[in-house]
Amino acid sequence: MMPDLGKYAGSVLSAYGASIVFLIAIVVLSVVQSRRAKAALKDVEDRRND
């Protein structure tokens, strides 16, 4: 299944590895920040409504 990347295997795999790590990092960071902001706003709004 894995294509034969020949002598450039290291270059190709490291380019894919680094890019995928950065893409996953920005997605995870954005989701975590979003959840935190949502929870913080809910706390304040609940306190106001009490």
Partner 1 sequence: MSLWEYANPVKFMALSGRVLPVVAVLSGLCLVVGLVWGFFFTPDDFRQGSTVKIIYLHVPAALMAINVWLMMLVTSLVWIIRRHHVSALAAKAAAPIGVVMTLIALITGAIWGQPMWGTWWAWDPRLTSFLILFLFYLGYIALWAAIEDNDSAADLTSILCLVGSVFALLSRYAVNFWNQGLHQGASLSLDKEKNVADVFYQPLLFCIAGFVLLFIALLLLRTRTEIRVRRTKSLLARERMA
32 contacts: CB under 8 Å, gap ≥ 6: none
**One-letter identity of residue 41:** L
Q: Tell which one of 12, 28, 49, 50 touches partner 1 (CB under 8 A).
A: 12
Q: Is 14 in the site for partner 1 (CB under 8 A)?
A: yes
| 28, containing H or E segment | helix 9-49
Q: Is 29 in the site for partner 1 (CB under 8 A)?
A: yes
Q: Is 4 helix (H, G, I), strand (E, B) or coil?
A: coil
Site residues (CB under 8 A) for partner 1? 1, 3-9, 11-12, 14-16, 18-19, 22-23, 25-27, 29-31, 33-34, 37-38, 40-41, 44-45, 47-48
